[in-house]
Structure 1
């Protein structure tokens, strides 16, 4: 079991400026690098207080790469539907070079209607654009004189410069939310997987991971594949303080996410490529911190509490996990977030070293 940091900005300019938030992230990345964490990752979102401070993960991760020496930088995830594959492959190849081969590339489909509308991309094309552009990026990294004739773009022959440091290309991850089919497709393609346990049931996630691992093995790919799983973590020497922070910032998360997903309540939103998302608004509003904590969908408490939770997570989903932790949700003060990162490295990670 390995551990890293996730940066998902859930805050508005009235709560904290973007420059201050980025400064906090860079400081936490430096600390994580010193303490032996595996990775740092961030998201791609637009416009709203739900992730909108991070419209370009590559920019923040380039700054992280410049301030660290060992830790991996991870897109969690970039959205290939919103960027021409030649542009996206080039940006990520530059980042792999700036990081000296420390890049993991996570690709995601996106799910907010306003983002698709802004880019003029129909949500009904989400799945097909995703599959086409991921494969186009992979070929641009792995091959020279690439000729591409797809449904949404055509180019070539071209040879992408710079070439990626990692050959034939950086590790590719696919972000999945609830679909076993998406997980199986990622496994069959030999890609790795990013999942978020807060948006599906424990049994549902077990089934997703089983589908991924089975399809990967059936396709003959070497190794079990890498699975990144994301949690928000409220860690403190004082359990009461940790739970109070959890209630505060989880409520903030629900407030921001509720506003971001409100358009899903409209009839026909998303089309057939997003089955079940029409109920997303009600699901978000029904969130309960105590139930989420009991179900291990959020990590909170003392080092012993969080260690027990992650031990259970390993039992459920397998010990070969890379757990990506958000220690600075919302406008969390830097000193509190840094203290939690250091406490995790000192007390939680060593207790789970054998998993």
Structure 2
């Protein structure tokens, strides 16, 4: 199993300024490479304290590329419904070149109503936009004189520049949360799968089976393997009690900021997002302790964390990579650095063979 870092800024100006947030995230990214981690991931969002500091994961990853030499760089995710495929294909290929071929491109459908409303995109069209844009980006990366005519974009005889450094293109991933059809589509298309198990890994096990079965049916003869990456909050301290004290404070902040961003779902319904109505109520009622007792976060001493990683992987049915959120809740750099150091020094050597 491989491990890395997953960033999603959840800061308010009172808890951490944008300058401080990115200074901290860049320092942690460099430390992650030194400590033997494989990947650094950043997420795109707008307007809210949940993710709003980073409208451009590619901009952040370019800065990480300039400070590192081997760690993989992952968008986790860019939101294709808000971008033209020519733009996405060109900007991702540029970062692939800057990094010497270290970019993984993760796409997500977007789900915050305020983003769709402000940017003038119909939520009910998001699934079709998501799939059409990914398909178009893949064509621009790999073909010349590409023409498209869709309800969302059209162009003729486009040859994208720059061409990707990795051939035929960077590894591509897609995020899925609740809908079985989305897990199946990602498998059928041969994309890697990105998940964020919010409460318990058990709830995702059946979804991973759907993904893997669809992947095998479409690509089994090719020898290509399905790939699953999970993102989870992590706190490691010298004792379980110390780790839980940190987790209680900063997981609560993380959940509160997230709940504020999804408040619109308390009064919104969409046929494209079944099960999302009331999402804010669910987050506001969720206890931080429930996350790390049921596996949606990993918290404890090094020995406890080793056991909980093994249990998580067993309960979910196996993943290929876990990317840790170690700075959630606008956590101060020294606390996040402690988690990273203890994980790399005392946990990583024991779990890479999972």
TM bin, normalised by shorter chain, reads over 0.9
Partner of 1:294: 293
C-alpha separation in 2, matches of 1:113 and 1:215: 30
C-alpha separation in 2, matches of 1:216 and 1:104: 19
Is the partner of 1:137 in helix, strand or coil?
helix
Question: C-alpha displacement at 1:320, in angstroms?
Answer: 4.2
2:111 is equivalent to residue 111 of structure 1: yes
2:159 is equivalent to residue 146 of structure 1: no
Written as runs of structure 1 = structure 2, the 5 A alignment for 1:1-355 is 1-198=1-198, 201-221=200-220, 222-266=223-267, 269-355=268-354
C-alpha separation in 1, matches of 2:156 and 2:229: 34
Q: 1:33-60 deviations in whole A, cap 9, x for unaligned?
A: 1121110001111111111111111100
Provide the TM-score with structure 2 as the length reference: 0.97
Q: Is residue 192–residue 227 contact of structure 1 (8 Å, CA) maintained in 2?
A: yes
Structure 1 consecutive aligned stretches of length 4 or more whose deviation exceeds 6 Å: none
Q: Is residue 314–residue 321 contact of structure 1 (8 Å, CA) maintained in 2?
A: no
C-alpha separation in 2, matches of 1:180 and 1:134: 19
Q: Is residue 235–residue 299 contact of structure 2 (8 Å, CA) maintained in 1?
A: yes
Q: Is residue 178–residue 204 contact of structure 1 (8 Å, CA) maintained in 2?
A: no
Is the partner of 1:278 in helix, strand or coil?
coil
Q: Is residue 326–residue 336 contact of structure 2 (8 Å, CA) maintained in 1?
A: yes
Q: Is residue 299–residue 306 contact of structure 1 (8 Å, CA) maintained in 2?
A: yes
C-alpha separation in 2, matches of 1:146 and 1:270: 37
Please, which runs of 5 or more residues in structure 1 have no aligned partner?
none
Please, which runs of 5 or more residues in structure 2 have no aligned partner?
none
Is the partner of 1:248 in helix, strand or coil?
helix
Residue 338 and residue 163 in structure 1: after superposition, are their counterparts in 2 closer, same or farther (change >3 A)? same
C-alpha separation in 1, matches of 2:158 and 2:203: 42
Q: 1:114-133 deviations in whole A, cap 9, x for unaligned?
A: 10011100101110100100
Provide the TM-score with structure 1 as the length reference: 0.96
Q: 1:78-129 deviations in whole A, cap 9, x for unaligned?
A: 0000011111111111011111111110000111111001110010111010
Q: RMSD across aligned C-alpha pairs, in angstroms?
A: 1.2
Is the partner of 2:233 in helix, strand or coil?
strand
Is the partner of 1:198 in helix, strand or coil?
coil
